[in-house]
Structure 1
Amino acid sequence: MKRATGGLAAVLIGSMLLTACGGQSGESNDAPPGTTSIEASQEVRTLLQNNCMSCHGPDLQGRVGPSLQTIGSLLSREELYTVIADGTRAMPGFKDRLEEQEMEALADWLADQKEAE
């Protein structure tokens, strides 16, 4: 019975990750579309809404994925670009979905998101 329960839990968690991450609708389950306190260019806001907020939350506070609100304090612009393009174990890569210029715009903006000094 434990084996069946563990397998079921793994399938449910995997399903949640697949359906939550990388959504293209621009909508979030936490807030109506376009409702966010993020200050960014329209291009970056659209990229964030269409590709990031479904996992990282409407204000990038973290949800299924970690908070990105101060990610620039943890990762360099180059590291952020690599994560966006190639993904990680839990995050899908976007090099097949986004243009290089779009990934660069996201990496540049995220690199500026640092802890207040």
Structure 2
Amino acid sequence: MKRNPVIPFAIIAAVGILLVIIISFQGANQRDDIAQQEEGGDAQTEEGQQEDSQEGETTDDPSEVFETNCASCHGADLSGGAGPELVEVGSRLSEDEIYNIIMQGQGSMPGGLVSEEEAQAISTWLLEEQ
């Protein structure tokens, strides 16, 4: 008795199509849940998260903020790495230019990693480090 070599491939294809359909329905349900949460279904939790993040965000020490948010790319000693060297950035850029780069980003650096107050403090600190 001769076997048809197409049957195993047809079974695998049918199982694959069935799995894609099941996963699609599951994803659609998750999308609906996410949309409900964004519309305010979970407003109390969002308010609590905003309060928590605002409480822990600001610090008075710009070198600590730099260490936490910037040193992984620019180096703890400002010598660079994945990001450019910042050793003499104050001699190349003004405080406003440094602030704008921190807030808006530049190149592969995303903007808005720190609050406006922290960005201002880091800008002043970097200007003094020249």
TM (norm. structure 1) is 0.57
Aligned to 2:65: 47
Question: What CA distance in whole angstroms lies between the structure 1 residues aligned with 2:83 and 2:116?
Answer: 22
Give the unaligned 5+ runs of structure 2. Answer: 1-59
Q: CA deviation at 1:60?
A: 1.0
Give the aligned length: 72
Task: State the partner residue of 1:77.
Answer: 95
1:78-113 Cα deviation digits (max 9, x unpaired): 00000000001211102xx42211110001111122
Distance 1:52 1:88 in 2: 13
5 Å-filtered alignment, 1:64-103, equals 64-94=82-112, 97-103=113-119
Structure 1, unmatched stretches of 5+, are: 1-41
Q: Do the aligned partners of 2:69 and 2:114 also contact (CA within 8 Å) in 1?
A: no
Name the % identity: 39
Residues in 2 aligned to 1:112 and 1:66: alpha-carbon distance in whole angstroms? 18
Alignment match of 2:74 (pick from 35, 39, 56): 56
Alignment-mate amino acid for residue 119 of structure 2? M
Q: Larger Rg: 1 or 2? A: 2
User: TM (normalized to structure 2)?
Assistant: 0.51
- Whether the 8 Å CA contact 2:63–2:125 is kept in 1: the answer is no
Deviation at 1:44, TM superposition (A): 1.1
Runs of 4+ in 1 over 6 A off after TM superposition: none
